[in-house]
């Protein structure tokens, strides 16, 4: 894993470079020479945060409103009660 450091100006001039570097490790983004942000690949982020996140976070993802959820009907075996 490599660590890359870019200034905010460098990031603005070549975002593609930052995205490629994030595939190999974190990219530290500096403002006036001081670390201000970190760019991570989604895989690294999920590993750091404990994989998938919460149901609330999943429901807040873009495009979720367009998904159709059609669960199968639940079939319960119902028997008549017997009183002996």
Please write the tens of the pLDDT for every residue from 6-45: 999 999 999 999 999 999 999 999 999 999 999 999 888 8
- Of the pLDDT bands very low, low, confident and very high (cuts 50, 70, 90), residue 48 is confident
Q: What is the mean pLDDT of residues 66-79?
A: 77
Q: Please, which residues have CB within 8 angstroms of residue 24's CB and are 6 or more apart in sequence?
A: 1, 2, 4
Res 52: pLDDT: 61
Res 66: pLDDT: 78
CA distances 28 to 3, 41, 67, 70, Å, are 7, 12, 35, 43
**Could you tell me the two tokens for 52?**
């998938």
**CATH number corresponding to 4-52:** 3.40.1620.10
């Amino acid at each position: 894993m490599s660590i890359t450091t870019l200034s905010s100006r460098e990031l603005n001039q070549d975002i593609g470079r930052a995205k490629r570097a994030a595939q190999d490790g974190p990219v530290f983004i500096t403002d006036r020479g001081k670390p201000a942000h970190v760019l991570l690949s989604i895989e690294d982020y999920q590993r750091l945060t404990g994989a998938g996140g919460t149901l609330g976070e999943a429901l807040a993802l873009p495009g979720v409103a367009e998904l159709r959820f059609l669960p199968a009907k639940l079939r319960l075996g119902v028997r008549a009660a017997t009183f002996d």
